[in-house]
């Protein structure tokens, strides 16, 4: 068979065989390809990337395959990220138990009255309380609910910014230590050296993603001004 040269052939014919008796022509391609359905997972992944990862700064050293793998990994754990429905996100499946080393009745040290607040701190308290209520982190305890443990909160000021802080020293005194202690820096660095991906993020609100079991929620009661809140 000779090679096919269509450039100088009239009507774009080509010949096969030495006698050049067999002439053939290319037919126009009329087949239409339509996409009837796109995989829903892929659509959801693309939506997740556009809505949640549009402000993420992904390392330029990653290859396209690594970036796609990272996006798929984040999508698989998307429930841990914030959304319009859940502004803070939540770590589901790892709810914490607060186990006390004492039995009822609890000592008076675990039922602390609210600290007096200045007008400036009280105004800041109301702002923080409203924000936490809107996020679903705390709720207002009804008058018919029994409150056995309360923790006082204070407003800390740094320059002109305020921060809400709970005084858990009394509760920690009667709490069984966690079996997962805070890791040492050297251990954390050793573990990071074996990581495939390393993320850097603002974790200021991250501790609020940790959820306690419903039966432990009353132990985190907050005595704020004249009413109680719990997580």
Q: Do 136 and 221 lie in a common domain?
A: yes
Instruction: Tell me which of 90 and 62 has the higher pLDDT.
Output: 62
Residue at 29 is within a domain: no
Count CB-CB contacts under 10 A for residue 21.
8
Task: Name the 3-class secondary structure at 151.
Answer: strand
Residue at 89 is within a domain: no
Q: Do 64 and 156 lie in a common domain?
A: no
pTM for the model: 0.48
Q: Do 44 and 145 lie in a common domain?
A: no
Q: Do 73 and 128 lie in a common domain?
A: no
Report the CATH number at residue 174. 3.10.10.10
How far, in Å, CA of 88 to CA of 208, rounded? 8
Q: Do 114 and 226 lie in a common domain?
A: yes
Q: How confident is the model at residue 30 (pLDDT cuts 50, 70, 90)?
A: low
């Amino acid at each position: 068979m000779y090679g096919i040269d269509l450039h100088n052939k009239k009507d774009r014919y080509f010949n096969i065989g030495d006698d050049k008796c067999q002439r053939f022509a290319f037919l126009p391609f009329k087949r239409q390809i339509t996409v009837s359905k796109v995989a829903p997972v892929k659509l959801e992944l693309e939506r997740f990337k556009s809505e949640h990862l549009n402000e993420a700064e992904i390392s330029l050293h990653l290859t396209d395959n690594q970036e796609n793998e990272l996006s798929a990994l984040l999508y698989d754990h998307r429930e841990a990220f914030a959304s319009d429905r859940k502004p803070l996100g939540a770590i589901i499946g790892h709810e914490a138990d607060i186990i006390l080393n004492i039995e009822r009745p609890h000592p008076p040290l675990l039922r602390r009255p609210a600290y007096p607040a200045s007008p400036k701190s009280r105004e800041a308290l109301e702002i923080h309380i409203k924000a936490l209520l809107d996020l679903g982190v705390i709720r207002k305890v009804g008058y018919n609910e029994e409150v056995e443990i309360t923790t006082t909160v204070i407003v800390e000021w740094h320059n002109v910014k305020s921060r809400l802080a709970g005084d858990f020293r009394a509760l920690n005194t009667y709490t069984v230590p966690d079996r997962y202690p805070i890791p040492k820096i050297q251990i954390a660095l050793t573990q990071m050296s074996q990581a495939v991906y390393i993320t850097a993020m603002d974790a200021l609100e991250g501790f609020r993603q940790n959820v306690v079991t419903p039966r432990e929620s009353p132990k985190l009661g907050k005595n704020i001004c004249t009413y109680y809140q719990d997580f």
